[in-house]
Each structure stands twice: as C-alpha cells, then as structure tokens.
Amino acid sequence: MTAIDNVSLAQRVYTVEQVQKGEKPAAEACSISMMQLMSAAGAAVFKHLQQDVKAPAKMAVCCGEGNNGGDGYIIARLAQEAGYQVDVFALSPNKTISSKTDNNAERARLAWRDSGGQEKAVNDCEPQRYDIVVDALFGVGLNRALEGAAAALVHTLNEASAKVLAVDVPSGLNADTGSVPGVAAHAYKTVCLVAHKRGLLTGKAKNHVGQLVLEDLGIGDAFAKQSKATYVRVTTEHIQNWLPRRQPCEHKGDNGHVLIVGGQPGMSGAVVLAMQAALRCGAGKVSVACHPEVQAMVAAAQPEAMVRAVSSQKDLQAMMELANVIALGPGLGQSEWSREVFSWVADHCINTNKAWVIDADGLNILAAHEQKERLGSRVILTPHPGEAARLLNIDSNKVESDRFSALNALRDNYEAQILLKGAGSLVTSDAGQFILDAGSPAMASGGMGDLLTGLVSGLVAQGMPEAEAVVAAGIWHGRAGELAGNEGERGTLASDLLPYIRQLVNGKIT
C-alpha cells in the first residue's frame, strides 16, 4: 500500500489550518521571507497565465484585501511589464495605505501603484471585455458565503462565462470542505500554492476548480517534512502493481469466490451488474443468491455465474461457506425477505470473520439494524451521500457540506473500510485516508454503484487486502467511467464500463 511518507508532494493533501500554520516555518527553513514567498506566488500564477493567454491580451485582476489580493497585485504588475493590457478591480479601490506598512499584501499594492497602476471598483468590472480574469479576491481562509460586492462580482463572472484563473482557490469555495455556502467563481484553472488543500479535490469543488495545478513556491519539501498529510491523492498510475501478474499454472480456485446477495423482484439488474463486474475484474468464481422470482432471469444474464434462489437460511448457508467474500445489497430491497437475508449474511460474516461488502439497500437496512455496532473487522461500506446520511441519521446536505467530517463519523461509528462516493470519492481505511482522483459526470446514471460493489468484492476475492481493494476499486471504477464517457457523457450506461474495467485491471490502459 502507498505509504504517506513515500508519496510525492502532489499526492499529499492537507487541511487549510496545516498550510496556514506551516508555510511560514517552511519558508524560514528555506531562508525565504514571507514577502518573497508572496512574490513567488504571484510569479508562479503569472507563468500559467502566460501559457494560456498571450500579450497584449486584455486582463482583469480582481483583488481582495488579504494575501490573496496581494498575489493579485503582483500578478497585475508582472503582466503590465510584460505588455498585457491590465485593469485592476479592488474591493476597496484607492484605499489609503501608509508607505511604512509592514503588511505584505499592502506592500504589493503600493508597488502596483508605484508602477503607475490604477484601481477600479469591482462593481465596474465588465468581464466580457477581457480575455482573462484573475480571481484574487479571497483565499483559503474564507469559510462563509460571499457577500456584497464580492458576491455580485462572482455572479457577474459566472453569468458571463468569463475565463477565470483562480489564485489558490476559487473565491467562495471552502478550501477545507469543498462546499459552496453561497456563490463561487467557476475557474478554468486553479493554481494551488504551497500544497494541495483537501477541499479543492472533492464535492462541489469539482464544479469550480477546473484544471488544478500545484506550485510549491520552492518550499514544498520543507513543508512536507514538518507537516503530515491528512489524505493521499490517488490516481490510476499509483495502483498499477497492486494486482500481481498471474502465474502460468493458476486456476479459478486461485482467484477467489465471490458471493453476491441481492436481487429481489423488480431489481434483478443490480445483481447482474455486480456479478459482471466481479467476473470482469478477475474473480475466479462468482455466485449469486437472489429472490426465487428472479433466479431464472439472473441466471440467463451471465452463463459464467452460478445463480441460486434463496427462500431460507439453509438455501444460503452452503453458498456463504464456499465464498471468500460476500457482497450484500445490490437490488436487495427492504422487504421482509431482504431483512432476513441481511441478518443471515451479517451473522455469518461476523461469526466467521469473513470479508464482506455492504452497499445499496444493504446500507439502508444497516442504518436501522441492531447489529450495526458489531460488523466485524473485515467489512467494507460504499455509501453515496444519501446512504451516508441515513447511516449517520443526518440530512444528506450536511454530508455534502463537509464530506470529510461525514467520513470520519462513519469510521467512528462502524470501524469499517469506507468509501464515500461522489465527485472526488473519499476513503478511510486501515491503510490511511485517500482522495480518489478519478470519475466523470457520465457516471450519473443507475447501476454504477452496483459495478463498484462487484469490483471491490472481486479484488478482495483475488487476495487484495480490503484496505487496498476499496481504493483500487474506486480508482478503476472512476477511470472506467471517464473512458466510457469519452463517447458521450449523456447516455453512458453502467454496463458500458465493463470492457474498460477488464483492461484497467490487466494494465492494458491507465
């Protein structure tokens, strides 16, 4: 498993507090003053601006009162010197500043004025007149909704579909949680400074950040040495060797046996998708235990799987004993049959310490189940925000307002390996905490979660530890969604991901 101590700075993810407290000591360790650090930030963002828009393009730089605004004034001065047509729009234009100020943002502002630069009120900004707009209004310290002139400006930028380059964080986005309590700028690119802030990688942030690039300003190594990352950002390249090459003499018994339990009348497709994902990711054998009324339908969908109807605990017992891992929930429903089956599987897995994955209606039954405090040490939960809310007995909006806190609460309550699904899925496991950098809006259709359930269980069956399987499955699932979505985000079906899942687990594509 990728250890936090052995990953690059680009993979390390921090809280806002960590960056705010750690950047000054890191700069001092590198003999860099905070004014020099601000100058480096402005220069780093300007470098990206030059790559995207060439002089003499028209540029608007929108500056706030804090350090983010100071970065903006430096960018404006550098752009003006390079031949861009620059207008600066300030929240408090022409504010009186003492020439003896020791505030770095104010010193950067005075340097802009000394170069002949002017300031206009943000209310006067007409974004359609500019080739690019630099958002330097508010930085990572903002944890409330934008108000007044700042909110009005961001509304104007968004309505005009302006080309916005964000400095460190799009204004209005909470860089710690990924939530947007009011309005936030839609950037085509965000230049994150010093280190990645966790809120830029998950939740609503995905609608606002655009392309995310990191500039460590020359202090990244020093910062990483003194600040332990809270999350690791994982992509497909980081998990390429997690499934070993098969030996020539391997047979199906060497690659595990998955049992998928679910599929009540009207929801047989869910177990079929989970079954197909488990097969396509390499599980040696896959069985399905389903409601008697759908047994023939499920069996006809995939001849390679073994399908049995379950009317009693006896029907299920032998199947559970043969399986290496049990996936409970796809198409399970919440009927009396569903609740009985849940209890039978839970008792078996807890008593035998068998790996099991709970998703979909399995999670909904779990939310009210008396056994939820004793699930055993080998359980994996894969809730979406609505299911997480039911597990925590809170509103789903509260989950989305702080996905990190919701994930931690789930971990505290259930002591499981947990994947909280959504844009920038989050994982907490025995191996650490991870942000999964894969996925696509093409995946906003039914059945995607069932594929993930089959994929996780199939990897566990092949011998991958649960803490690794939940990360690898989440990444390969998201990447398959990206690849399938390349043919059109609208109309992508869960089954469209299956060919890509097969290629990903075999290392044919990344």
Cis peptide before 56 (omega within 30 of 0): yes
474 assigned ligand-binding residue: no
145 assigned ligand-binding residue: yes
135 assigned ligand-binding residue: yes
Helix, strand, coil % in the chain, rounded to nearest 5: 45, 15, 35
104 assigned ligand-binding residue: no
413 assigned ligand-binding residue: no
Q: How far apart are alpha carbons 381 and 398 in whole angstroms?
A: 19
Q: Residue 125 in contact with residue 153, Cβ under 8 Å?
A: yes
Buried b (16+ CB within 10 A) or exposed e, 266-305: ebbbbbbbbbbbbbbbbbbbbbbbbbeebbebbbebbeeb
331 assigned ligand-binding residue: yes
Q: How far apart are alpha carbons 57 and 105 in whole angstroms?
A: 25
424 assigned ligand-binding residue: yes
197 assigned ligand-binding residue: no
Q: Backbone phi, then psi, for 128, in 5-degree steps? A: -65, -15
67 assigned ligand-binding residue: yes
Q: Residue 71 in contact with residue 38, Cβ under 8 Å?
A: yes
Q: How far apart are alpha carbons 290 and 428 in whole angstroms?
A: 30
270 assigned ligand-binding residue: yes
335 assigned ligand-binding residue: no
329 assigned ligand-binding residue: no
262 assigned ligand-binding residue: no
114 assigned ligand-binding residue: no
141 assigned ligand-binding residue: yes
203 assigned ligand-binding residue: no
9 assigned ligand-binding residue: no
347 assigned ligand-binding residue: no
Q: Which residues pair with 287 in a beta bridge?
A: 259, 306
- Half-sphere exposure of residue 15: CA atoms within 13 angstroms, side-chain side: 10
Q: How far apart are alpha carbons 161 and 176 in whole angstroms?
A: 26
139 assigned ligand-binding residue: yes
437 assigned ligand-binding residue: no
Q: Residue 169 in contact with residue 193, Cβ under 8 Å?
A: no
172 assigned ligand-binding residue: no
176 assigned ligand-binding residue: no
447 assigned ligand-binding residue: no
171 assigned ligand-binding residue: yes
Q: Residue 403 in contact with residue 205, Cβ under 8 Å?
A: no
425 assigned ligand-binding residue: yes
Q: Which residues pair with 417 in a beta bridge?
A: 380
Output the six-digit token pair for 294: 């759908």
Q: Backbone phi, then psi, for 400, in 5-degree steps? A: -70, -25
Q: What is the DSSP letter of 246?
A: P
Residues making up the binding site: 67-71, 135, 139-145, 168, 171, 270, 331, 384, 421-425, 449-450
Binding site per annotation, positions for AMP: 421-425, 449
Annotated binding site for (6S)-NADPHX: 67-71, 139-145, 168, 270, 331, 384, 450
- Known binding residues for K(+): 68, 135, 171
